[in-house]
Amino acid sequence: MKDWEEFMKEIKEKVAEALDYYCWNITGDTPLECYSVHQDRDLYDLAEEFAEWSSFGITKRDLELLEKAPEKIYDKYSWELKREIEKVVDELRKEEGI
């Protein structure tokens, strides 16, 4: 098994990339609406949403490992992802003058 920190960082990046692609290219919502809906979800929930999308490489095995990850490390990366999403929401609101 890879180092937990390395694994969690990699998963967080994959999830962020998948969410970005989804919000800008797939959903029928505006990017602001899409990111807003996802900003309160944790890392596992978001990873599960994008699991098995071939272009992002999030696998069922990754989900199993997320469930086994040490809580402290999991919480750290889940919080980091939430902060990244919040920053995007804030930037989009500024662009739209909200």
Residue-by-residue pLDDT tens, the chain, 98 positions = 559 999 999 999 999 999 999 999 998 899 999 999 999 999 999 999 999 777 788 999 999 999 999 999 999 999 999 999 999 999 999 988 87
Element (H, E) at 86: helix 71-96
Contact present, 27 and 34 (Cβ < 8 Å): yes
Annotated domain spans of the chain = 4-92
pTM above 0.85, yes or no: yes
- What is the maximal distance between C-alpha atoms in the chain? 46
